[in-house]
Chains A and B, each alone.
Chain A
Amino acid sequence: MSAVLICVFFLPFAMTLLSLVLPRRVTEMATIVVGVVTFVLAVTLMPSVTHGVVTAPFLRVDALSEIFLLATAFLYPVTAIYTIGYFARERSVIARDGADAIPQFRRYSRLFYVGFNAFAWSMICAPIVNGLALLWIAIEITTVVSALLVAIDRTEGATEAAWKYVLIASCGLGIGLLATIILYYAGSTVLGESYDLGLASMLRSAGELPAVPVQLAFGLAVIGYGTKVGLFPVHTWLPDAHSEAPTPISALLSGALLATSFYAILRYYQIAVGALGPAFPQNTLLIFGVLSLLLAALYLFAQRNIKRMLAYSSVEHMGILAIGVSFGAPIAFAGVLLHVLAHAAAKGTAFMGAGTMVHKFGTKEMSGMRGAIRALPFSGPIFLVAIFTLGALPPFGMFRSEFQIVSGGVASGHGVVGAVLLVLLSTAFLGLMIATTRVLFEPGTGAMLPASEPSYWMVVPTLIGVVALLVLGVHPPDTLVDLLTRGAAELTGASS
């Protein structure tokens, strides 16, 4: 299995280098193939990690890492398929503008694919590298690569969003680096002056670490990595970057990047629980989670831009993850991990659907989008399903995950928080539904547009997302259930 792990690490990296030289058509197809192969390889790792840990030099995958790897590896090929449709419109614009724009477009698409593959590679690296220092490095690479991708359109909004994103996220990661170093200090009292922050040794010796430095490191890690997760009050870059980035990048940012950063917090959580007991880490996450959820639920009502609305929904779901972890019950942990997968599929689908609507109507403002269900015969209904999913309606994966989280909360004696969670979730869903209903069903601009899809390359990936959500909700495969159970056990500390 080590060989598989090494392939998972190298394939997207090789694709990044290849996209520097291959012609555009070949790059498009090769990216999809590499994405699919990476996903299949990630899936083949599942049975091994449910029984133990797979390692390779500098790499280590346990059940917890595997879940986050799956989330990214799923979105990588799916958004790659979508990108073909996304670029189809760019090509039609070029056909209209004449031959002058062709070299410009070639340059743009090359830059895009290099960045896209590098971004996917860095997010795949983060959960599979062995050690907190390497994890920090991987997440820092995700930041710089994705900041360039946010800026790639070079519009006024994109430039502004990219600057805010790179500055705020880098500062967050500066704090994350401080957390890494302080944890290194804590570890050096047990593991000796020179060691490599490897996960296995850190988790094993967590119980002997001195309390004050671990407390400090955990607090700094939640704020530092929390900046990338989008936790209140350090979420401010998130709506800007998500709304101004090209749609395939928005889908990756929201579905994969936020979760990848949350993975870093979970690693610090594991160590902090070992060293300090559950109260401090769980209360910290509870506060950040409830505040993020509250902010997002209220802001969802005030959004006019469809991609910003989905971005706030991401803040909401990251808040749910933080609250779920704070419950500390195994069933809630399993729910949190399932939620990571379901959110990747649901938010990816929602962003891609929204991107199709932006193409069709030529605006991101929801006031300019009306009657979308008629104008987009496939993407319209699929977007509706994606919003239902985000609102945790059955039979989709998020219903199952949120049900587990809330029941974990009630079971562990957090009934009041569970009730608050339900109220805020319903508020957020109401906000999303009001806006979505108006965009899809209110008569208006859509009636004047022909009822057709801009490109079926943009429909297929959203269908894949919906199917994945159905599978997660109705009957998740046994191996996946075992994986989630094992991941929950790792978070509880039962398996170490």
Chain B
Amino acid sequence: MIEILTVARPAPTVFDGTANTVAVVVLLLEFGMLRASLFGAQVRLYAAQSVAVSVLAGVVAVGRGVPELFILAALSLLLKAVIVPLVMMGQLRDSRAEIAGSGSLGVASEVIISILVAAFGFFAVGALGIHSEVLPAAALSLSMAVVLVSFVLMILRRDVISQAIGFFSLENGVSMASLVIAAGLPLILEVAFLFDLLVAVVVFGVLIRVQSDRTKSFSTVALDRLRG
């Protein structure tokens, strides 16, 4: 019986299912960031999302037999799920400021807007007819939804932590897209991208630090002096 099932449901379907599930998890974690009220929670959500993206890289490595992606998965796990969160937490260890209530809309409205935006991204990319040998095209649509929701996060949350995490998660969305359509990208370039991200994280950390030292809060509401 089991043998029949295995024959009737060949491996790629299981692979597709796993890949799509992980991609959906990445998107759901992005939604979670819309309502996080402590900066620690925001950073942990990002770490969890990075784990999911790294797992996806691992899934592709196993399912498609691309050994280079194992290295990428390991590096991405180390950097994005461990080092980046540690750098962020380290920069802000002694800060007592909160990020609760920094949304310019209520959480419910933010989620509804995000669902609309995510649906737009999902179907718009689906309609382009971009096919990949490596992953089901739905994963590409999902990664576009992640990118768009990260923009919603950056636009609607008025605190530096959510905006920074929004940018990092945008990068997670792009990483996911690159797994679907650019899995063959040479490892050296992938590593360079990751290194670049690390530099960006340090700079974001420094600027957040400067900002919070100056205003004793993470809010960006007061950043309205320069205009016109």
Contacts and interface: CB of A to CB of B under 8 A. Distances in A.
B228 A302 contact: yes
B173 to A, nearest CB: 8
Residue of B133, B154, B196, B226 contacting most chain A CB atoms (<10 Å): B226
B90 to A, nearest CB: 18
A234 interface: no
Contact of B214 (A156, A166, A303): A156
B160 interface: yes
Interface string A120-146: 000000000000011001001101100
Contacts of A137: 192-193, 196
Interface in A141-200: 141, 143-144, 147-148, 151, 154, 156-157, 159-164, 166-167, 170-171, 174, 177-178, 181-182, 184-185, 188, 192-197
Contact of A170 (B184, B200, B210): B200
A438 B154 CA distance: 41
Contacts of A163: 160, 207, 211, 220, 223
A160 B181 contact: no
Residue of A188, A192, A308 contacting most chain B CB atoms (<10 Å): A188
A240 interface: yes
B147 A167 contact: no
A154 B214 CA distance: 9
Contacts of A178: 147, 174, 177
Given A171-B151, A196-B186, A302-B228, A185 B196 contact: no
Interface in B162-214: 163-164, 167, 170-171, 174, 177-178, 181-186, 189, 192-193, 196, 199-200, 203-204, 206-207, 210-211, 214
B196 A174 contact: no
Contacts of B178: 181, 184
A291 B178 CA distance: 32
Contact of A144 (B186, B199, B225, B226): B199
User: Which applies to chain B's interface (DSSP): helix, strand, loop or mixed?
Assistant: helix
B128 A151 contact: no
B10 interface: no
B203 A148 contact: yes
B5 interface: no
Contacts of A212: 128-130
A118 to B, nearest CB: 10
Contacts of A188: 181-182, 184
B132 interface: yes
B174 A181 contact: yes
Contacts of B196: 137, 140-141
A151 B207 contact: yes
Nearest to A194: B184
Nearest to A183: B182
Given A160-B223, A161-B226, A216-B128, A151 B210 contact: yes
A160 B225 contact: yes
Contacts of B177: 178, 181-182
B226 A160 contact: yes
Contacts of B204: 166, 170
A72 interface: no
A213 interface: yes
A402 interface: no
B192 A133 contact: yes
A140 B184 contact: no
A162 B129 CA distance: 39
B30 to A, nearest CB: 14
Contact of B171 (A166, A177, A185, A195): A177
A66 interface: no
Interface string B144-167: 000100010010000010011001
Nearest to B189: A133
A244 B207 CA distance: 15
B2 to A, nearest CB: 34
Nearest to A164: B223
Contacts of B130: 182, 185, 212-213
A162 B174 contact: no
6 contacts: A134-B189, A157-B225, A170-B204, A177-B174, A184-B182, A240-B226
Interface of B: 128-130, 132-133, 147, 151, 154, 160, 163-164, 167, 170-171, 174, 177-178, 181-186, 189, 192-193, 196, 199-200, 203-204, 206-207, 210-211, 214, 220, 223, 225-226, 228
Q: Which 9 residue pairs are nearest across A and B when measured between Cβ atoms?
A: A193-B184, A194-B184, A185-B181, A144-B203, A184-B182, A240-B226, A174-B170, A160-B223, A133-B189
